[in-house]
A = this chain, B = another copy of it.
Amino acid sequence: MSWESRFGGVPTPAVFVDLAVARRNIERFQAYANAHGLAVRPHIKTHKLPEIARMQLDAGAIGVTCQKISEAVAMVDGCPAIRDVFITYNIVGEDKLARLVTLARRVRLAVVADSMAVAAGLSAAFAAEPEKLRVLVECNTGADRCGVASPAEAAALARRIAASPGLAFGGLMTYPPVGATAAVETFMRAAKALVEAEGLVVPVVSSGGTPSMMSAAEAPVTTEYRPGTYVYNDRSLVARGVASWDDCALTVHATVVSVPAENRAIVDAGSKALTSDLLGLTGYGHVLGRDDIAIDQLSEEHGRLVSTRPIGLSVGERVRIIPNHACVVSNMVDEVHLIDVNGTIARRPVVARGCIA
C-alpha cells in the first residue's frame, strides 16, 4: 500500500513521525552509550512528546533534558515516568525562579549557571527549601554561546555554588560545537581537576549534541550525554553524513497546490511548517525520492520546488519532505501524526510546543 493512500486522509501540511524509525534511533545511541559507560539524558526539544520521552526512558535513559521550565512542566505532566529533569538553561527572574521551586518539589531537578549572578538568584529562591538544588557549571568549549570561559573560572564558580545556601554543586556541563570532542576532553578534564582540588566532588560531566554523539566516548571525562535530534534526524544530519534518509523519523507531508511552470511547483508547506532554519544548508528541505528537486524559497504558506528537469508533479499530489531541522518543526504544529509498527496513525498534541518562557 502506497504512503499516499495510507496517509492521504490527513489534511496537509502535516507532520508525521514513524515510531519504528524513532525507536531504532533511540536504541542505536543507547547501545553505544551502554557500551561506553555513558548515561543518556535525551533533550526533549526535538519531539516535545510524552510518548517519545517514555520510549527513551524505557530504552535506558536516566532522565530528560529540557531548555525551559515550561517545557519541563508540560513533559512531567504528560509523562509521570519522567522523575529526573536537567534544565540546561540559566534561570533568571522572579517568576521563573518561583516556578523552578515548584518543579523541584515534583522531580529530581538540576539546572546550570555560568555566573554568580545566576547562581545568586537560584540560591535566594532555594535557601528556604528542604532540599538543595543541584547546579552544574556551564562551560564554553567553543560554541561561544553561554558558559564560563576557562577551567579556572569553572572551578571558582563551582566553589561559590557549593557555598551558596540552597544549592549543591552538581557537576560540569557543556554544549560543544560539532566535532569538538577533543576540546571537550581538554576543558572538562582540566576543570574537573581544579574543582576536585577545591575538595569538591564532580558528580556529573554532561555533554551533548547529535552530530558528535557517536564519538562521545572519545572524551572519556564525559559521564552523561544529551542528544536531541538523534531521535528523529533531519536533512542537516544527513548532510553531515551521520544519518541516512531512512533514519529520518519525522516527515512533513505537503500537497502540490500549483504547477505554474514546467520546472516549478508550489506546495502548501511554507515557513510556518518547515521554518526558515538553514543550519548552513542551501534550500529548505529534501523531497523524498526526488533528488532533482530543491526547495529554494519559502514564504509563510508556500514552499517553492524547482527541478533541474520537468518537475512532473500535479495539483493535488502529495510529497514528503525531510526538513532541515526536525526540532523546530515540532515546535510549529499543535499536533503530530504518529505511525506505529502496524501503520496505524494516531494524532498526538505536541504538549511542549511553544514553551518559550
Contacts and interface: CB of A to CB of B under 8 A. Distances in A.
Interface of A: 11-14, 45, 67-68, 89-90, 92-93, 95-96, 114-115, 117-118, 121, 140, 144-149, 255-261, 264, 266, 268-269, 271-273, 275-278, 297, 299-302, 304, 314-316, 327-328, 331-334, 354, 356-357
A257 B45 contact: no
A258 B301 contact: no
A328 B301 CA distance: 11
B93 A260 contact: no
Given A13-B357, A257-B118, A90 B300 contact: no
A260 B95 contact: no
Copies of this polypeptide in the complex: 2
Given A95-B11, A115-B315, A275-B275, A260 B356 contact: no
Contact of A354 (B89, B275, B332): B332
Given A12-B93, A45-B300, 11 more contacts: A14-B357, A118-B257, A118-B315, A144-B264, A145-B266, A145-B304, A147-B260, A149-B260, A275-B276, A300-B327, A333-B354
Nearest to A9: B95
Given A114-B258, A145-B266, A275-B276, A300 B357 contact: no
